[in-house]
Amino acid sequence: MKKLRVGVLASGRGSNLQALLHQSLAGKIDVEVAVVISDVEDALALSRARAAGVPAVYVPPGKFRTKLEPESEKEYVETLLTHGVEVVVLAGFMRILHDDFLNAFPDKVVNIHPSLLPAFPGLNVQKKAIDCGVKWSGATVHFVNAGVDAGPIILQAVVPVLDDDTPETLAARILVEEHRIYPEALQLIAEKRIRIDGRRVIGEPPPTTGESR
């Protein structure tokens, strides 16, 4: 099967990128990381990509704190297209992407978030979950739309919130699940096993024998 070419955008430590590289290089998923781009010049994610022999590019974000300047957003799109990227994977990318970017990859941008969306979008969500007293939290892989952490949900995994949890211990428990379900969600996309129907992501039946994927 032809591999799905993904481009990963990451701002930080890149543990989700690492999990993806691991599965991809071991041939466990039909996904190839074509390029990794970061808005942070010394992001660990870039070193992880280089160590795996994957092109790693720093693209300066411009003057804003939470978004990309229009010119640099264009450069992100161009870099992704130059590397033949079909699906954009956000893995701890700390900037909001706008219409020009999303329109370049319609329904082809995915994100992972460390809560059971739609509960607790945004930042510091493990602390918010603990403070709110929920007994369960988890991770969500979703398509990205114009809202923040608001697009159609592909996969979720649930973990308990324990009485003695700190944001750090809860984050670590959730991260284990993130590393499991992100590659799994990308494999579903690679196999064309899902489609978007409004807010929902619906499973498609597996192709019958002999039918090309």
For β-strands 194-197 and 200-203, DSSP reports them as: antiparallel
Binding residues among 31-60 for ligand GRF as defined by CB under 6 A? none
Binding region for ligand GRF (CB under 6 A) out of 12-20, 29-37, 46-54, 71-79: 12-20
Q: Please name which of 40, 42, 22 lies closest in space to residue 31, comparing C-alpha atoms.
A: 22
Residue 113 catalytic?
Answer: yes
The reply on whether position 178 binds ligand GRF by CB under 6 A is yes
Q: How many CA atoms lie within 13 A of 6 on its CB side?
A: 29
Pick one of 3, 5, 15, 127: the residue that binds ligand GRF (CB under 6 A).
Answer: 15
Binding region for ligand GRF (CB under 6 A) out of 29-37, 107-115, 161-169, 183-191: 107-115
- Closest to ligand GRF by CB, 12 vs 167, is 12
CA angle 20–21–26, rounded 5-degree value: 105
Pick one of 112, 154, 155, 186: the residue that binds ligand GRF (CB under 6 A).
Answer: 112
Q: How many CA atoms lie within 13 A of 85 on its CB side?
A: 28
Q: How far is the CB of 112 from ligand GRF (least distance, A)?
A: 4
The reply on whether position 169 binds ligand GRF by CB under 6 A is no
The reply on whether position 92 binds ligand GRF by CB under 6 A is yes
d(CA 22, CA 103): 30
Pick one of 8, 9, 14, 186: the residue that binds ligand GRF (CB under 6 A).
Answer: 14
The reply on whether position 114 binds ligand GRF by CB under 6 A is yes
Q: How many residues bind ligand GRF (CB under 6 A)?
A: 13
Neighbours of 197 (CB within 10 A): 9
Q: Please name which of 1, 3, 34, 44 lies closest in space to residue 186, comparing C-alpha atoms.
A: 3
- Asked if 138 contacts 177 with a C-beta cutoff of 8 angstroms, the reply is yes
The residues annotated as belonging to the active site are: 113
